[in-house]
A and B are shown apart, each in its own frame.
Chain A
């Protein structure tokens, strides 16, 4: 199959529907359930800067699973959950105690605890491996493709067992967050104050860690620990960049997790086909898609995104260069024989280090706004331009007077401070400056300060 054909197939989406079966639907449902369960809890871990705790717990529960199996000899879910939940909480407790008793950095102490527990888990599993189908590889990567094969009867339907388990876990997580919303919020934001009010932040922390352990175990078999870790961190981290309220952040993180799960499976069965390969690991692809979403968020987020920050910086730079041009033209008009001076672009580069591109854009903007006109090779301020420039000069010279009066700056240093301050000074501050300096007619260099009235 050629690349063009597969691309066309992918773009029409017909290709996707052709190969989509009921099995794919169950796989996506499983993926969404576990991704959303993880993402919900992930919000509080990201906000408490405990992102890596998810990593630690998801590995450390392994001995819990193994011991639960060795003790009871069954792979029944409830036993597994209890074993995992106990070890999950122990991970949090051990990390905390090694951190505080051993004076070890929290990250290092987490690393020690979870690798040790994980290794113990591996040893136990391998020891019991002959009789068990508990497979270490399966724990890491999961086997979401096999999920639809193991079904249970719910009413008259045949539903995959994993879907049932994960639905219960998701319901528990949603219920937990709904019930303890304000307790979770305050103990993540200000644990000390929460504790003084009787909302013990430590208790909330361990409750959360218990649920993380339970969610991790429920997700293991189907999606594997890599996806669990990704979903605990990535959707919440993306949502944090996009929103300013906790509830919105939680909802957005859940949506991102669901989109990543559905998109991940769709990508897993279509994208490799473009290059003529068989479909790839769905769990892996889900994690990749969530990573891609995060990448775009970092760039495009409305307030915290890199693109927006860049745009804001460019707008600021453009405003400053426009103000500099106006002020320079005003000063030239004040100067006798300014016709013999070099062109404005060169003066500006020498005084303020303004680049050619920025200058060209600033000048073009000013001419469009009708503040500057060009006569032959010379630029002149229009009436509006003069007014605006006069106000800038007034601010500049008032600042010089103010600094001269109230700080012990040398007279030849005043200009540079005023040059920066003039760009951030509004009307209110200009009035305050005038009041503080009693509106002198001239600045410390003896230049006239344009009056408020004539502007």
Chain B
């Protein structure tokens, strides 16, 4: 079950685990709540089944909030799409989960623990444009990087790891290009190299930032096939997506994001015209104005 930000009934929340509950308790008390209003302590292990739990997440760049009080649960064994307009904070949400950007506030747990203790479970496929494709490495070198976490500090890459990388390249149809310098690959081939790298990481949860952007039709098919294989093996895949036409076919669950979570849940429930309009069309103008004021460091009240 995914819950939307608007869910007001505390009963639908998965109860907070102890680690959260203590924080929540102190927060509530600080806020002057009566003891009776403080949420009850959760049963242990409630979040350990959940690949990702995000609570009250706010992220700001130069004091301008990019994500505002985001709550979401990501369920196991699903392909989850994140959609929203440009600047909605989609990449930032992934980066916050991956501990790559500082949080202004909020808590994120991966299977009940902080990211730092769960690195091995997580694979990341960044946007293709974020790396320098003139870098002096061949495709096999890049795929082998997926094993670096397993190999460990200061140990060399061995034949065993290179063979695992080659096998992964074979699965995405790139075995023939292993020795190519990466700038000589097409956009689709570069994306497949990234996917092969994620594959050798053998993670449990994958986060992919626009894997379908600028790839050919054959690559798009290969990618979605791979994602479905991941799902069959009980893995969880979170994908930032732009093409609304394919949303219904590709994703089990959906998070509609525009600075806040507009809606989240099963695709058939939340992929509605109304929700899309709220995500892409109307921003909450008052909130927007307040955010602008924060960015301006205005002292005046609105």
Contacts of A49 in B (CB 8 A): 132
* In the bound complex, CA of A6 to CA of B101 (Å): 64
Residue of A47, A188, A199 near B148 (CB, 8 A) is A199
* Interface of chain B residues 170 through 198 with chain A (CB within 8 A): 181
Q: Does B95 contact A (CB under 8 A)?
A: yes
Tally of contacts, chain A with chain B, CB under 8 A: 75
A47 touches B181 (CB 8 A): no
B133, closest chain A residue (CB): A189
* Cα A189 to Cα B131 with chains together (Å): 6
Q: How large is the interface on A (under 10, 10 to 19, 20 to 34, 35 or more residues)?
A: 20 to 34
Chain B 136-154 near chain A by CB (<8 Å), digits 1 or 0: 1110011001001101011
Which residues from A are CB-within-8-Å of B130? Answer: 190, 192
A182-B148, A186-B148, A190-B131 as given contacts; A197 in contact with B136, CB under 8 Å = no
Q: Could you tell me the distance in whole angstroms from the C-beta of B110 to the nearest C-beta in chain A?
A: 11
Q: How far is the CA of A186 from the CA of B151 in the complex (A)?
A: 13
Question: Smallest CB–CB gap between B151 and chain A, Å?
Answer: 7
- When C-beta atoms are compared, the residue in chain A nearest to B116 turns out to be A198
* A188, A190, A196, A244, most chain B CB atoms within 10 A: A196
B149 touches A185 (CB 8 A): no
Identify which of A179, A189, A198, A199 contacts B137 (C-beta below 8 A).
Answer: A189
Q: Which of B119, B124, B145 contacts A186 (CB 8 A)?
A: B145
Bound CA–CA A207/B49 (angstroms): 38
A198 touches B119 (CB 8 A): yes
In the bound complex, residues from chain A placing their C-beta under 8 Å from that of B122 are 196
Bound CA span A216–B69, Å = 47
B76-107 contacts to A (CB < 8 Å)? 95, 98-100
Q: Find out whether the CB atom of B136 lies under 8 angstroms from the CB atom of A246.
A: yes
A198 and B149 contacting across the interface, CB-CB below 8 Å:
yes
B149 touches A246 (CB 8 A): no
Contact A196 B154 (CB under 8 A): no
Residue of B nearest to A242 (CB): B136
Contact of A193 among B124, B135, B138 (CB under 8 A): B124
**Chain B residues near A192 (CB-CB < 8 A):** 95, 98, 100, 124, 126, 130
Judge whether B145 and A193 touch: CB under 8 Å. yes
Known A189-B137, A192-B130; 12 more pairs at CB < 8 Å:
A47-B135, A180-B154, A183-B153, A186-B145, A186-B148, A189-B135, A192-B126, A194-B148, A196-B100, A199-B149, A244-B136, A246-B141
**Can you spell out 13 A-B residue pairs with CB atoms less than 8 angstroms apart?**
A47-B136, A182-B151, A183-B154, A185-B145, A189-B132, A189-B135, A189-B145, A190-B145, A193-B145, A197-B119, A197-B149, A245-B137, A246-B137
Name B residues whose Cβ lies closer than 8 Å to a Cβ of A.
Answer: 62, 95, 98-100, 119, 122, 124, 126, 130-132, 135-138, 141-142, 145, 148-149, 151, 153-154, 156-157, 181, 201
Interface residues, chain A, with chain B CB atoms under 8 Å away: 47, 49, 103, 179-183, 185-186, 188-190, 192-199, 240, 243-246, 248-249
